[in-house]
Amino acid sequence: MEANVEARPVIKIEAPAVRQDEGALPAEQHELKMAARDVNLWYGEKQALFDVSLDIFARQVTALIGPSGCGKSTFIRCLNRMNDVIEGCRMKGDIALDGEDVYAPQVDPVQLRARVGMVFQKPNPFPKSIYENVAYGPRIHGLAHSKAELDEIVLKSLIRAGLYEEVKDRLNEPGTGLSGGQQQRLCIARAISVDPEVLLMDEPCSALDPIATARIEALMEELKETFCIVIVTHSMQQAARVSQRTAFFHLGKLVEVDETTKMFTNPSETRTQDYITGRFG
Sole binder of other proteins in the list 222, 251, 265, 270 (CB under 8 A): 222
In the list 35, 39, 52, 118, the residue contacting other proteins (rule: CB under 8 A) is 118
User: Per CB under 8 A, which region of 49-57, 117-125, 240-248, 251-259 contacts other proteins?
Assistant: 117-125
Which of these segments, 28-36, 82-90, 246-254, 262-270, binds other proteins (CB under 8 A)?
Answer: 82-90
Task: Give yes or no for a contact between 119 and 191, defined as CB atoms under 8 angstroms apart.
Answer: yes
Q: Provide the minimum distance between the beta carbon of 181 and other proteins in the complex, in angstroms, as a whole number.
A: 17
111 near other proteins (CB under 8 A): yes
Which residues between 125 and 144 bind other proteins (CB under 8 A)?
A: 125-128, 136-137, 140-143
Closest separation between CB of residue 98 and other proteins, Å?
A: 11
Distance CA 198, CA 33 (A): 8
Binding other proteins (rule: CB under 8 A), the pick from 124, 206, 235, 261 is 124
**In the complex, least distance from residue 6 CB atom to other proteins, rounded to whole angstroms:** 5
Q: In whole angstroms, give the CA distance from residue 138 to residue 109.
A: 16
Residue 262 binding other proteins, by CB under 8 A: no
CB neighbours (10 Å) of residue 108?
Answer: 14
Dihedral angle at the C-alpha atoms of 263, 268, 270, 274, nearest 10 degrees? Answer: 10
Span 173-202, contacts to other proteins by CB under 8 A: 187, 190-191, 194-195, 197
**Cβ within 8 Å of residue 256, ≥6 positions away:** 247, 248, 263, 267, 268, 269, 271, 272
Minimum gap (Å) between residue 5 Cβ and other proteins:
5
Is the separation of the CB atoms in 189 and 104 below 8 Å?
no
Q: How far apart are CA 227 and CA 221, in angstroms?
A: 10
130 contacts 164 by C-beta, under 8 angstroms: no
Work out the burial of residue 227: count CB atoms within 10 Å of its CB; fewer than 13 is exposed, 13-18 middle, 19 or more buried. buried
Site for other proteins, rule CB under 8 A: 1-2, 5-6, 80, 82, 85, 87, 108, 110-115, 117-118, 120, 122, 124-128, 136-137, 140-143, 153, 159-160, 187, 190-191, 194-195, 197, 222, 225-226
